[in-house]
Amino acid sequence: MIAAGVDPISQFEIKKLAELKIGNFDISFTNSALMMVVTIALIALWLLLSTSKKSLIPGRAQSIAEISYEFIADMLRSAAGKDGMKFFPFVFALFIFILFANLLGMIPFFFTTTSHIIVTLTLALMVFFIVTFYGIWKNGFGFLKLFWPSGVPIVIKPFVCILELISYISRPISHSIRLWANVMAGHIMLKVFAGFCIMLVGAFGVVGGSLAGILPFLMTFALTPLELLVSFVQAYVFALLTCIYLSDAVHPGH
Amino acid sequence: MLNAITLIGLKLAAKKPAGDYGGKEAAEGVFPPFDSNYFATQIFWLFLTFAILYFLLSRVFLPRIGQTIEERSSRIADDLDAASRMQKEAEEAEKSYERALADAKAKAHNVAETTRQSVDAEVKAEMDAADAEAAKAAEAAELRIRGVREKAMANIEAVAADAAQATVEALTGKKPTLATVKKALN
């Protein structure tokens, strides 16, 4: 446990809990899969409890559920307009899934699913393909107006078009790395400072180590609320960018 | 500063007796988030759990929350409508009350005015009657005074004649006749 306590990387290790295979693909049930299941189970439990009463004057839990609902609904409506509201369940699911996964990851010894690039990349690609296919299905060739901006002199238009194309294609990369890097870096920082405390005790004994460990302990103490904030902000940013990308699919001409 | 501390931490951590990285299948020393052995399982479970979550949200929970919010806002709108209607009614009631009050005031003023006029008229009539009576009484009195005075004047002539007769008789010893005396006096 001490070794796991000081090594800032081991928290990202995936461990198989049950072997599972489909053809050549190893889809074993891992600690990551367990945390995903816990995440959606918690969300379902929370919403089940908070929406069971449906009272006119909301209680605390119902109020939180309604505030989350209106928070995401307002965000999507202001970014993508009324036509974008058909994606509301999708954006809400993204936000709440990432938020719960991030927050659950803050509990000591819990695995953080969003600290793996493949998870955030899958989510970002999901957004990317939904935006692309819906945009083409809804607007046909009109979707290409996204890469052919109006109000730009014809001489530089091709260059702007190339830039727009590159930025469009790189969207899922920035979208996924922003979330992943924030979560992962935060967890490494926390683990490094927390690990310092243990190492100092190992090096200078209980009394000396505890005295020397005050600084890294205070650092860990200060970093924890910061990371809780980052958990929320990154979920918010991911959902907000999804809304902005979706607005391109709904209104490509701006 | 932070980076330096992080680096020291990583170095110290590496010195520790090897934590068994990533289980048996994981390539030694691969940073776990880049270990492609576990990509398939994560994608699979992410799709599965996210699909279940999406289904639950879009079919059950979000419509439920939306409906509650909708009901509340329509209820609030109804209540506001009712409140504004009641306020309008109250304003109308106040207006009609004020109108009634003004009517009553005007009426009371009228009554007072007519009463005052009739009282004035009565007083005037009575004063006139009294004046007329007084004038009549004064006239009668004047008449009587004149009568008395005339009578008194007539009496004075007779008294003067008597006195003259008596004076002449006393002076001359001869009593003149009344007619003579009267002739002499006039």
- Predicted local confidence at residue A4, as pLDDT: 46
B46 contact residues in A (CB cutoff 8 A): 36, 113, 119, 122-123
- The pairs formed by A26-30 with CB atoms below 8 angstroms and a separation of 24 or more are A26/B37, A26/B38, A26/B40, A26/B41, A27/B40, A27/B41, A27/B44, A27/B45, A28/B41, A29/B41, A29/B45, A30/B38, A30/B41, A30/B42, A30/B45
Q: Is the pLDDT of residue B57 over 90?
A: yes
Total CB pairs under 8 A between chain A and B? 167
Residue A29, beta-bridge partner list:
A18
Residue A26, beta-bridge partner list:
A21
Q: How far apart, in whole angstroms, are the C-alpha atoms of residue B142 and residue B133? A: 14
Contact criterion met (CB below 8 Å) for A42 and A100: yes
Is the model more confident about B184 or about A193? Answer: A193
Interface TM-score (ipTM) > 0.95: no
Amino acid sitting at position B4 = A
Q: Measured between alpha carbons, how far is residue B168 from residues A224, B176, B183, B185 in Å?
A: 163, 7, 14, 12
pLDDT in tens, B116-173: 999 999 999 999 999 999 999 999 999 999 999 999 888 888 888 888 888 888 888 7
Mean pLDDT of B71-96: 94
Q: How far apart, in whole angstroms, are the C-alpha atoms of residue A127 and residue A121? A: 10
Q: Which chain B residue is nearest to residue A6, measuring alpha carbons?
A: B13
Put simply, the answer to whether B38 touches A62 (Cβ < 8 Å) is no
Q: Is the pLDDT of residue B67 over 60?
A: yes
Put simply, the answer to whether A30 touches B41 (Cβ < 8 Å) is yes
Put simply, the answer to whether A69 touches B64 (Cβ < 8 Å) is no
Put simply, the answer to whether B17 touches A3 (Cβ < 8 Å) is yes
The overall average pLDDT reported for chain B is 84
Q: What is the full per-residue pLDDT of chain A (254 aa) written as tens digits?
A: 344 446 778 888 888 888 888 888 888 899 999 999 999 999 999 999 888 877 777 778 888 999 999 999 999 999 998 888 999 999 999 999 999 999 999 998 899 999 999 999 999 999 999 999 999 998 888 888 888 878 888 888 889 899 999 999 999 999 999 999 999 999 999 999 988 888 888 888 888 888 888 888 999 999 999 999 999 999 999 999 999 999 988 887 65
- Predicted local confidence at residue A125, as pLDDT: 96
> How much is the CA Rg of chain B, to the nearest whole Å?
69
What are the sequence ranges of the domains in chain B?
42-185
Q: Which of A26, A70, A193 sits opposite B41 (nearest CB)?
A: A26
